[in-house]
Amino acid sequence: MKGKLAEPIWALGAMSGTSLDGVDVAMIRTDGRTISEFGASGYRPYSAEEQAILRAALGQWPGDEDVAAAEHVVLDAHLAALRGFDGADVVGFHGQTLAHEPQGRGTHQVGDGAALAAALGGTVVSDFRSSDVELGGQGAPLAPFFHWACAKWIKADAPLAFLNLGGVGNLTWVDPHADAPEADGALLAFDTGPANAPINDLMMERRGVPFDKDGALAAQGNVVDGALELFLDEGYFLKMPPKSLDRNDFSLMLDLVRELGDADAAATMTAMAAAAVMRGMEHCPVPPSKVLVTGGGRKNPVMMAMLETALDCPVRPVEVVGLDGDMLEAQAFAYLAVRVIRGLPTSAPGTTGVRAPVGGGIVSRN
């Protein structure tokens, strides 16, 4: 029995992130502890109409008026994204975060796991965050357990950090010598602050485009120190981890750059994302030997250069160690799905502040 439980299986993970750009899908083979193999991956963008439906539902809770329409969009997009991926024993379905108030109403990822399982005809794990929140955790970030597995996979021999620059930023410090992700002191993780979401909002408001491609606009501007200092006065940066954010928690950032020209506003907001990471680094138990960056922000050379200047260690895209920075989160939810069906925890005090290691997720079988 024990031997069988330890066998690696193929899992498919699907992630719809806070940028609302689309669904990432990736396969990995794992026993729920270590990574055996990476498999195929795919991406299904949301159309402008779908994005508008999701955006309208942001901040809403189950039963609120726009949630049912968002649920349809999420299900259809996932079915399209997952089509053609065969041979997975389980699917990890993150869904789309609509609202996140871990110390208030909870956390809400829209996405009907039972409906996806029925449509695909298999086992689907969904709602990964709720049980962590119920046990006093932040419910986020959850990728850190997978970051531990990645550190093992790259045979890291010194503490290192993974930095996700998505809509929101999150940092995971990893002790690669820890023998399990839930072990005391193995991981310290938290959301650093806003990353791309406010820059995207600025670009949409000022230029009618979804993001600052390659940081081109930011590169033409100057960072305005006064606005940056006001941003860093936010109480969030003084809080000790664990801590997490909702996509729109920093939407007032747009006001801080309201009077600035487009290029200076973009440069200043990019500097805000980098400065938030810099502040976060102060929480690492020991300085990491390097920071491996995942998520769309690693493609923004202005943001990467600001980080490299601000931090005392190399800052590199995860591709330098053979990982895929576009797919790491989808892979993470594939890995976490295997942990859930094997009864292993998916978060711990060091990653979400939960009282004790806990396994989240709802399993739907068909």
Ligand X SMILES: Nc1ncnc2c1ncn2[C@@H]1O[C@H](COP(=O)(O)OP(=O)(O)OP(=O)(O)O)[C@@H](O)[C@H]1O
Ligand Y SMILES: CC(=O)N[C@H]1[C@@H]2OC[C@@H](O2)[C@@H](O)[C@@H]1O[C@H](C)C(=O)O
Choose from ligand X, ligand Y, none: what does 107 bind? Cβ within 5-8 Å by kind. Answer: ligand Y
Tokens of 95: 């869904």
User: Using CB under 6 A, which of 32, 215, 221, 288 touches ligand X?
Assistant: 215
102 binds ligand X (CB under 6 A): no
According to the annotation, is 191 in a ligand binding site? no
Is 131 annotated to bind ligand?
A: no
Single-letter amino acid, residue 124? V
Q: 3 vs 104, which CB is nearer to ligand Y?
A: 104
Q: Which of residues 276-295 bind ligand X (CB under 6 A)?
A: 295
Query: Looking at 196, 244, 346, 347, which residue binds ligand X (CB under 6 A)?
Result: 196
User: Residue 22, Cβ neighbours under 10 Å: how many?
Assistant: 18
**Nearer residue to ligand X within complex by CB, 20 or 311:** 20
Instruction: For residue 197, state whether it binds ligand Y (rule: CB under 6 A).
Output: no
Residue 299 as a binder of ligand X (CB under 6 A): the answer is yes
Candidate residues 9, 10, 13, 19; the one interacting with ligand X per rule CB under 6 A: 19
- Residue 24 binds ligand Y (CB under 6 A): no
Residue nearest ligand X (C-beta atom): 296
Q: Which lies closer to ligand X via its Cβ, residue 168 or residue 228?
A: 168
Quick one: 245 or 271, whose CB is closer to ligand Y? 245
Q: Which two tokens stand for residue 58?
A: 């942001």
Stretch that binds ligand X, among 32-40, 166-174, 268-276, 338-346 (CB under 6 A): 166-174
Taking the complex as a whole, the smallest distance from the CB of residue 23 to ligand X amounts, in Å, to: 10
Residue labelled with tokens 């997009």: 77
- Rounded least distance, CB 197 to ligand Y, Å: 9
137, 166, 194, 325: which one binds ligand Y (CB under 6 A): 166
Determine, following the binding rule CB under 6 A, whether residue 18 of this chain makes contact with ligand X: yes
Distance separating alpha carbons of residues 319 and 312, to the nearest angstrom: 20
Query: What phi and psi values does residue 252 have, to the nearest 5 degrees?
Result: -70, -10
Q: Which residues are CB-neighbours of 355 under 8 A, at least 6 positions away?
A: 135, 136, 137, 349
Q: Which of 55, 207, 213, 239 binds ligand X (CB under 6 A)?
A: 213
CA distances from 153 to 91, 149, 306, 316 (A): 22, 6, 28, 17
Rounded distance, CA 46 to CA 74, Å?
9
Q: How far apart are CA 154 and CA 152, in angstroms?
A: 6
* 124-153: contacts with ligand Y (CB under 6 A): 140-143
CA terminus-to-terminus distance, the chain: 24
Q: Which of 336, 343, 340 minimizes the C-alpha distance to 362?
A: 340
Kindly state the smallest distance separating residue 291's Cβ from ligand X, in Å.
Answer: 16
Q: Does 250 participate in binding ligand X (rule CB under 6 A)? A: no
Which of 198, 162, 199, 169 has its CA nearest to residue 276?
Answer: 169
For the four alpha carbons of 141, 146, 149 and 153, in that order, the dihedral sign comes to negative
Judged by CB under 6 A, which of 95, 296, 359, 361 binds ligand X?
296
Nearest Cα neighbor of 337 from 109, 114, 90, 145 is 90
Q: How far apart are CA 357 and CA 217, in angstroms?
A: 43
| Tokens 């138990």 sit on residue | 285
Residues 29-88 that bind ligand Y (CB under 6 A): none
Measured from the Cβ of residue 114, the count of other Cβ atoms closer than 10 Å reads 14
Task: Please check if 113 is assigned to a binding site.
Answer: no
Question: Does 100 participate in binding ligand Y (rule CB under 6 A)?
Answer: yes
| Residue 164 Cβ vs ligand Y, minimum distance, rounded to whole Å | 6
**Beta-bridge mates of residue 43:** 24
Instruction: Check binding of 144 to ligand X (CB under 6 A).
Output: no
Q: How many CB atoms lie within 10 A of CB 176?
A: 17
Residue 95 makes contact with ligand X by CB under 6 A: no
Binding residues for ATP: 17-24
Binding residues: 17-24
Question: Which residue ranges make up the site for ligand X (CB under 6 A)?
Answer: 17-19, 21, 164, 166-168, 196, 199-200, 211-215, 295-297, 299-300, 329
